[in-house]
């Protein structure tokens, strides 16, 4: 599992930062990519990465402000031209379906794959299968804005080989059956329950990606014990009132959410174009004073998402 930031700017694009878009790369897990927001210029950023649009199977939109959705019609069209023929599902606030279908209709864009829409009006689980669960929660941004929590299913515990050896259980296919939790009868008539020989399950990775928002208790609740939290940091610590008035967060707000939620790693994104050079590093420095494991990200930055030490 990897996370790559395609656009890390806020409001309007700049020469250094394009607008919001994040790729959660699940290529090893399920040969898919999930896209979170699709601001203007997303497909241009993708061209300079190894990402394949046809691998994008889900798009999660946090809210309907233009800097988070204006790249979506273009991306959807390009996906068709670049070999995408598998279904794609779009999750987002009510209105995202109308925006997409109107854009495609007016531009007479014809896709070669079906799009399914899941418009969000309430909090809760929006997707779940045996491998992943995605939960959404409402944030505080003036218009409906959501955060998404992606939870990987638990990994099976390790086979307790030392215990089996201590009990003189012969190695071989029996070990595999016990690992799968099966009940095995030995040649001597002894019955072994696989559950007695498998260690505690290891929880999967958790990634929380928030939309634009003021600092809110909902963010802390959604991000609780995440391995990764992605939080906007539109303003610096000196602009607290401005951030509040415009329903945004400062770098300090983001750090406090990460601290209170006990996350492992905080990534700051959605940076206002007013901050450049040393001012950008100040955002990261001020956040780290509150939450040490903070990284302010740039376009194209990519990170592995590992199981935290606390996972077991």
Residues catalogued as catalytic? 67
d(CA 225, CA 262): 5
Tell me if 283 sits within 8 A of 32, measured CB to CB. Answer: no
Q: Which two tokens stand for residue 256?
A: 């406090």
Backbone region of residue 144 per phi and psi (left: phi > 0; alpha: psi in -120 to 50; beta: other values): beta
Q: Residue 24 forms beta bridges with which residues?
A: 3, 34
**Contact predicate 234/217, CB 8 Å:** no
Strands (E), 72-197: 88-93, 115-120, 124-128, 132-138, 146-152, 183-185, 191-193
């Amino acid at each position: 599992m990897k996370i790559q930031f395609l656009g890390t700017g806020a409001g309007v694009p700049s020469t250094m930062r394009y607008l919001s878009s994040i790729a959660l790369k699940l290529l090893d897990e399920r040969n898919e990519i999930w896209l979170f927001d699709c601001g203007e210029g997303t497909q241009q950023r993708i061209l300079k990465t190894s990402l394949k649009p046809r691998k994008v199977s889900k798009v999660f939109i946090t809210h309907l402000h233009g800097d988070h959705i204006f790249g979506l019609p273009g991306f959807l069209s390009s996906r068709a031209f670049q070999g995408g023929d598998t279904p794609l599902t779009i999750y987002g606030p009510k209105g995202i379906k109308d925006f997409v279908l109107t854009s495609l209709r007016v531009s007479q864009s014809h896709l070669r794959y079906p799009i399914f829409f899941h418009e969000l009006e309430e909090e809760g689980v929006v997707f779940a299968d045996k491998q992943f669960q995605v939960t959404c929660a409402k944030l505080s941004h003036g218009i409906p804005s959501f955060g998404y929590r992606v939870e990987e299913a638990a990994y099976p515990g390790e086979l307790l080989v030392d215990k089996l050896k201590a009990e003189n259980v012969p190695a071989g296919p029996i070990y595999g059956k016990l690992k799968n939790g099966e009940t095995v009868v030995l040649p001597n008539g002894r019955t072994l329950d696989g559950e007695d020989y498998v260690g505690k399950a290891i929880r999967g990775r958790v990634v929380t990606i928030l939309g634009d928002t003021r600092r809110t208790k909902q963010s802390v609740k959604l991000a609780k014990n995440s391995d990764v939290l992605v939080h906007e940091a539109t303003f610096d610590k000196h602009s607290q009132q401005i951030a509040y008035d415009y329903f945004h967060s400062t770098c300090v707000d983001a750090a406090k959410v990460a601290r209170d939620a006990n996350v492992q790693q905080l990534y700051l994104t959605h940076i206002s174009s007013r901050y450049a050079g040393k001012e950008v590093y100040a955002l990261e420095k001020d956040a780290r004073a509150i939450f040490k494991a903070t990284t302010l990200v740039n376009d194209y930055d990519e990170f592995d998402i590992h199981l935290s030490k606390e996972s077991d």
